[in-house]
């Protein structure tokens, strides 16, 4: 059996960090839980950059990595969004919009893979990912600031969180539409 290479280990670490940051995010009994959740989420997000960089630089791209990396990415953001809904930070509609786009792109990638093609992430998709990460961390840090009294209890956290996430959703949907348009040949209804 082959040993896992470093990029694949980093991808597995990202998956392991998902339930870890969820524990911190959902347990206010833990001191500075939102700060710890933000740190773990940020570390997990950094592994997304690092594993891809190392895999390409050292020619360590594997089928295992091609399978696991997108799954880990979706787990990272989707778990945070669902936790945010549970905590009342954002509404379910914006969450469904973002997750639907992710399912759509993943489905399109599967269709392309079935045709023997790999669709790489475009620049707009990368911008979307960076925005999702920044806003997710910002929401966690905002709630940490509220928990320690750096922001007043009356601060409109729900409105601010929801507004930031709708901006992300708009970019997410736009990148999804672009992705569909550029790869429409894979979903030709005549095939």
Quote the tokens at residue 165: 């996430």
Q: What is the DSSP-derived secondary structure letter of residue 186?
A: G
Residue 82 within any structural domain of the chain:
yes
CA–CA separation, 13 vs 175, rounded Å? 27
Q: What is the pTM of this model?
A: 0.90
Residue 181 within any structural domain of the chain:
yes
CA–CA separation, 84 vs 26, rounded Å? 9
Give residue-wise pLDDT tens across range 123-155: 888 899 899 999 999 999 999 999 999 999 899
Residues in the chain: 191
Residue 155 within any structural domain of the chain:
yes
Residue 168 within any structural domain of the chain:
yes
* Helix 63-87 and helix 92-114, axial crossing angle in degrees, nearest 10: 170
CA–CA separation, 84 vs 109, rounded Å? 28
Residue 61 within any structural domain of the chain:
yes
Q: What is the CATH number of the domain that holds 109?
A: 1.20.120.1760
**SS3 per-residue string spanning 53-67:** HHHHHCCCCCHHHHH
Domain count, the chain: 1
SS3 189: coil
CA–CA separation, 149 vs 145, rounded Å? 6
Kindly report the number of other CB atoms within 10 A of residue 115's CB atom: 10
Give residue-wise pLDDT tens across range 13-66: 999 999 999 999 999 999 999 999 999 999 999 998 898 888 888 888 877 777
Residue 66 within any structural domain of the chain:
yes
Q: Give the model's pLDDT for residue 84.
A: 98
- What is the span of the domain harbouring residue 64? 6-187
Residue 80 within any structural domain of the chain:
yes
User: By C-alpha distance, which of 175, 172, 173, 88 is closest to 135?
Assistant: 172
Give residue-wise pLDDT tens across range 71-112: 888 899 999 999 999 999 999 999 999 999 989 988 888 888
CA–CA separation, 118 vs 109, rounded Å? 7
Compute the chain's Rg from CA coordinates: 18
CA–CA separation, 16 vs 3, rounded Å? 18
Residue 1 within any structural domain of the chain:
no
* Residue owning tokens 């990272």: 76
């Amino acid at each position: 059996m082959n040993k896992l290479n470093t990029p694949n280990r980093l991808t597995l670490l990202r998956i392991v960090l998902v339930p870890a940051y969820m524990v911190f995010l959902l347990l206010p009994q833990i001191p500075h839980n939102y700060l710890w959740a933000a740190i773990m989420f940020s570390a997990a997000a950094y592994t997304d950059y690092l594993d891809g960089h190392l895999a390409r630089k050292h020619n360590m791209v594997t089928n295992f990595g091609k399978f696991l990396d997108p799954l880990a990415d979706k787990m990272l953001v989707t778990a945070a969004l669902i936790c945010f809904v549970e905590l009342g930070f954002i509404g379910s509609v914006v969450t469904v919009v973002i997750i639907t786009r992710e399912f759509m792109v993943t489905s399109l990638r599967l269709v392309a893979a079935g045709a023997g093609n790999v669709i790489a992430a475009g620049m707009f998709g990368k911008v979307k990912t960076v925005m999702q990460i920044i806003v997710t961390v910002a929401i966690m840090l905002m709630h940490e600031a509220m928990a320690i009294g750096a922001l007043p209890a009356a601060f409109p956290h729900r409105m601010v969180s929801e507004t930031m996430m709708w901006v992300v959703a708009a970019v997410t949907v736009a990148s999804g539409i672009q992705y569909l348009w550029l790869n429409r040949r894979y979903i030709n209804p005549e095939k």
